[in-house]
Amino acid sequence: MGHRLIAFLLALLSVAASTGLSQDSDTSQHPRKVVSMVSPAYPDLARRLQMSGVVKLSATVAPDGSVKSTKPVGGHPVLVNAAQDAVRNWKFTPAPDETRELIELRFSPR
């Protein structure tokens, strides 16, 4: 009986996860190409702490390719501001409509 319950819960979790991903309307179906990319400045505090990690941002991109806004989706708060500052200066290829792009930036001390 316990094995059936675990199998059912795993199947339910799998279906819920795939449904959630397929209905995500925040990002465009086909990511726009980045034309100009600015690298984020590694924050001094993160450098002193030897902090590394990934920051995920949802960026709203205007039809002309400029970044209108960014919203953190994941990542350490010490790294998020640096990532947002950099991505706001990125340029994407023009498109007929405004899109949302999911961007991941990796930070690591060198």
pLDDT tens for 64-109 read 999 999 999 999 999 999 999 999 999 999 999 999 999 999 998 8
Please state whether the predicted TM-score (pTM) of the whole model is above 0.85. no
Residue 20 maps to a domain: no
Residue 2 in any domain: the answer is no
Asked whether residue 10 is assigned to any structural domain, the reply reads no
For residue 68, tell me if it sits in a domain.
yes
Q: Give a yes or no: residue 63 inside a domain.
A: yes
Domain that holds residue 96: 27-107
| Residue 98 is assigned to a structural domain of this protein | yes
CATH number, position 60: 3.30.2420.10
Is residue 19 predicted with pLDDT exceeding 50?
A: no
Question: Do 83 and 102 contact (CB within 8 A), yes or no?
Answer: no
pLDDT of residue 106: 95
Q: What is the pLDDT of residue 88?
A: 97
Burial 3-33 (b: 16+ CB within 10 A, else e): eeeeeeeeeeeeeeeeeeeeeeeeeeeeebe
C-alpha distance from residue 77 to each of 43, 73, 84 (Å): 11, 11, 11
Of the segments 6-10, 21-25, 26-30, 58-62, which one has the largest average pLDDT value? Answer: 58-62
Count the domains in the chain: 1
d(CA 104, CA 81): 13
